[in-house]
A and B are shown apart, each in its own frame.
Chain A
Amino acid sequence: MNANFLRNVFLKAFGLFILFNLVWALLNPSGLGKLSLYNVLFKGRERLPFGENPAESYNLSLYNLDAMLASHQINAGKKPDDEFRVIVIGDSSVWGTLLHPEETLAGLLDNRQLASPDGRAVRIYNLGYPTLSLTKDLMVLDALRVYEPDLILWLVTLESFRESEQLLSPIVANNLDRVHHLVTEFDVPLKLPDGRETFWQRTLIGQRRSLADLVRLQTYGVMWSATGIDQVYPEEFTPAARDLKADDSDPGFMPPNLRAEDVRLDLIDSGMKIARGTPIWIINEPILISKGLNSNIRYNFYYPRWAYDQYRTLLEEESRLRGWVYLDYWNLVPQEEFTNSAIHLTPVGERLLADQVQAEIINYLGKFK
C-alpha cells in the first residue's frame, strides 16, 4: 500500500458520503419509521413513546409519528374480526402521567374485558400524548384511521383549545408536513408558518438526530419488554396547587368574556371530518376543583372560573348544535384525587372516570345486538 492508495480511500469515502447524503435527501425515505422491532421482537408499547429521562424511563420523545405508532401494541397486526376497537386520544391525562399503563383510563377499561352483544371483545387502546393541542390530536386521528377504530374517545380540556398553543408543541412543530396535509385534505382552518424542510435538513446529516432517535426507540424496546416501565415514577412529586393566586386573568383569554375565536371549537369539527364517520365521543375531562385559597376566583392553576365556565357552555352548545356526542365529567373527581397537575388523576380518580365511561360504552354497545 502507498500514499496514493490511502488518498484514494479517503477520496472515495468522501465521495460515497456525499452521494449517500444526496440520495437520502432525494429519496426522502419517510416510511422508515414504520419499520419496527416492536410487536415482533418486543411487546408493543401500551402508550405512545414519550419521555424526558430515557435512561430511567426506557422511553423517549421523538417526532416520527409513524415510528411512535409502529412501537404501539395497536400496530401488532390486522384488527381481528371479533374485536370492537376503541381508541382513546387526548393529552397527558389520557397518556397517564405518574400512572402505570394499566391504571390509565384505557388500561382500566381494557382490563374490564367488555364485550359487545354481537360477541366482539372490546379492546381499548391508549393513544394519548402529553401535549395540550387539538392539532396534535388531529394528527393522531388522521394517522390512526388505518387501525380501523369502531369508537374514538377524545378527551379534551380548555387548554387544548387555545389558539396560541395549536402549533407550538414539539410534536406538531416538527410535523408541519402532516399538518399541511390536514389543511389541504380536510380544510382544517390552521394558518401554517412559512418554511418547509430544506434540502440540507433532508440529508443524512440533517436527519442524524431523528435517525438516532429511531435506533434509540428500538433499543429501549428491550428495557420496556424486560421491565414494563415506560416512565419514571418518583416517590415524591410536587402536588398541583390548591391555594391559588387572587387573579382571574389568563394568559390567553381576556375577562370577562371568552371569545369564540380564542377557543378552537372548530378543530373538533375538523376531527369529525378526519375520522370519516367513525364515531367520536368528546369527553370534557375532569379538572381539579380546588377548595383552597382563592378557589372562589379560580378552579385551579390553569383556569379562572369565568373562563372555564364559559368554555363549558360554548362546548356544550356547539355539541348540541352539531350533534356531537358530548360527555362532561369536569367535576367528577374530588381535589384529593389529582396528582401533579390540575388534570392528572390518581388511580382512584381514573377509576371514577372509567366507571362513568364504561357505563356509556355498555349503553352504546347495546345497539349491536
Chain B
Amino acid sequence: MSLIQLLILIGAAVVICTVGGFSRTTRLRLPLMLAFSVLAIFWLQPALPIRGLDFFLPTGMLILVLVSWGLTARPEERSIRLNLRPVVIIAGIVLALATTRLFSLKGIITPSRAPQLWVSLIVVVIFGVLFLLVSRFKHVSKTWLGVSTVGLILIFILLKFPMLTEAISSSLRGLTGQNTGAASSLDIRWLGFSYVAFRLIHTLRDRQSGRLPGVTLEEYFIYVLFFPAFTAGPIDRVERFITFLRAPSPFSVERIEQAGERLFVGIAKKFIVADLLAMMALNAYNAGQVQSAGWAWILLYAYAFQIFFDFSGYTDIAIGLAGIMGVQLPENFKRPYLQPNLTQFWNNWHMTLTQWFRAYFFNPLTRALRSAEKPVPMWVVLLITQMSTFVLIGLWHGISLNFIAWGTWHGLGLFLQNRYSDKVRPFSAWLAERPGLNKVSRVLSTLLTFHFVALGWVWFALPSIDLSLSTFSKLFGFGG
C-alpha cells in the first residue's frame, strides 16, 4: 500500500466518521463502510497478466462471502428485505466498475480495464440469484459447513502451492488465448484472500459449534472485507466486531486523537523505519553476497526489525483507520521482542493469528489427543500439537520447504522451552525471590528468545533450504 492509497483510505474513514457523527446521516454509516470496503478490494488488487483476472478475483471474493453468509446466517437473518440493501450496493458497485471500461482503456479503480459489460452483468445476475437462493436456505447441515471449510482450505492450497498455481495460470492463459508458456505462479495473486479465508473459516466453524451470533448480510460483508484490515489483519472475531458496527465508540475528540496517534505511529513504523531497514535486511539476493559473519548478523537483525515494524506498522494503521470510524480492532503486537520466552513471544506476535490457530486447530487437536481411547503421554501431545500448529502457520505463509522448516523451528522451540520450564520450575521459584538475579535472568532470557526468533527468520526470509543453511554457516563463521 502506498502513502497516496493510505491518504485516500484515511479520507474514506473521515467521511464515515463524519456521517456517523450526525443523527440525520448516521444510517448511511454501514452502507458507506460496505461500499468503501467493496471498492477497496478492487482498487487494492494488484494488476495481473491474465486478462480479466484482477477483476474476477475480487468479484469471486464477493461471491465467496455471500455463500459463506448463506451457510452461516440464522434463519431469522435471511430475510430478503433485511438484506436487499447490501446486495444492491455490491451489484451497483460491480456494474459501475464495469462501466469504467467505457471511459478508459486502463483501469479506473480496477487495476486494469474492466471486462465487457455483458460479462459483468452475468456476474451480477449470478450474485443476485445466489442471494435469492441462500436467503431461502432453511437449514444448513454441519456437513455443508465442514465441506465449505475444506473448500476454502483447498483454494488456499491452490493459491499457495507454486506448482499448482502455475498450472492454474497456464489453464487460464489457455482459456483467454494468452501465451501458456509464460505462465507463472505469480500470475495469480489474490489480495487479501488469506485473511478473508481466516474470517470465513472462523464463522463456519463457530456456526458448526453454535457459537456464531446472528449477523446480517451487510454486517457480514463489512466484517470480512473491512477495508482497514483487509490486506494485513488483524483477524477480529465476528461477535466482537459487530458490537462496534451496531454501537460504535461514541464520537469524541479523544477517539480521533487516539486513532490519529496510532495512524501516525503506524505510518512512521511502516514508511520510515521498516522501509529504511528493508534496504539492508537479509534477503535471497544479498544472503549470498555478504562477506563476513558480523555483517550477516547485522542483515539478520535488520530483517528481524524490518518485519516487525512493517507488520506492526500496518496493524497500527488498521487500528487507527478503524478507530476513526468508531471500530476498535484487536491488538496484534505487544512488544514481542521484549518477551523472556518463546511462549510469551507467540502470545505477543501476530496475536490474532495465533489466537485463531489456537481456537480452531491447537485446542481441538489437544482435546482429541487427550480424549483418545489409548492414552497418549502429555509430552507427546504437546510435541504433536505444537509442531503441527506451527508447521501449519508456516504453510499459511506459503507451501514450501522453508516455511515448513520455519514452522518446525518454532514448534520444536516451544516444545523444548515447555519441557525446560517444567524442569527448572523450582529454580525459577528460587530466582523469583531474588529481584536482582531475576532481572539479570530476564534480560538474558529475552536476548536468547530474540536471537532464537531472529535465527528462525533465516528460514522465513530465504527461498531455499540450501541458501538458509549456507547463511547459518556464515552467521556462525563457517561460511565464506
Contacts and interface: CB of A to CB of B under 8 A. Distances in A.
Contacts of B292: 226
B88 interface: no
B291 A227 contact: yes
A226 B299 contact: yes
A2 B296 CA distance: 50
B256 A219 contact: no
B290 A227 contact: yes
B279 A226 contact: no
Contacts of A55: 279, 285
Nearest to B272: A215
A222 B254 contact: no
B295 A219 contact: no
B424 interface: no
> Which bracket fits the contact residues of A?
10 to 19
A219 B257 contact: no
A105 B462 CA distance: 37
B254 A226 contact: no
B61 to A, nearest CB: 31
A246 to B, nearest CB: 37
Contacts of B298: 222, 226
For chain A, what secondary structure do more than half of its interface residues adopt (helix, strand, loop), or is it mixed? helix
Given A2-B253, A6-B256, A6-B257, A222 B289 contact: no
Contacts of A5: 253
Contacts of A3: 253
Contacts of A190: none
Given A219-B276, A219-B279, A226 B253 contact: no
Contact of A229 (B256, B289, B299): B289
Contacts of A229: 289
A264 B330 CA distance: 69
A225 B296 CA distance: 11
Nearest to A227: B289
A63 interface: no
A206 B291 CA distance: 39
Given A56-B285, A228-B291, A223 B257 contact: no
Interface string B281-300: 00001100111100110110
A222 B256 contact: no
Interface string B375-411: 0000000000000000000000000000000000000
A223 B253 contact: no
A3 B21 CA distance: 14
Contact of B279 (A2, A6, A223, A227): A223
Given A56-B285, A226-B298, A6 B291 contact: no
A312 interface: no
A222 to B, nearest CB: 4
Shortest beta-carbon contacts, A-B, top 4: A226-B295, A227-B289, A222-B280, A226-B290
23 contacts: A1-B254, A2-B253, A3-B253, A5-B253, A6-B253, A54-B279, A216-B279, A219-B276, A219-B279, A220-B279, A220-B280, A222-B298, A222-B302, A225-B295, A226-B286, A226-B289, A226-B290, A226-B291, A226-B296, A227-B286, A227-B289, A227-B290, A229-B289
Given A219-B279, A222-B279, A226-B289, 6 more contacts: A1-B253, A55-B285, A220-B280, A222-B302, A223-B279, A223-B280
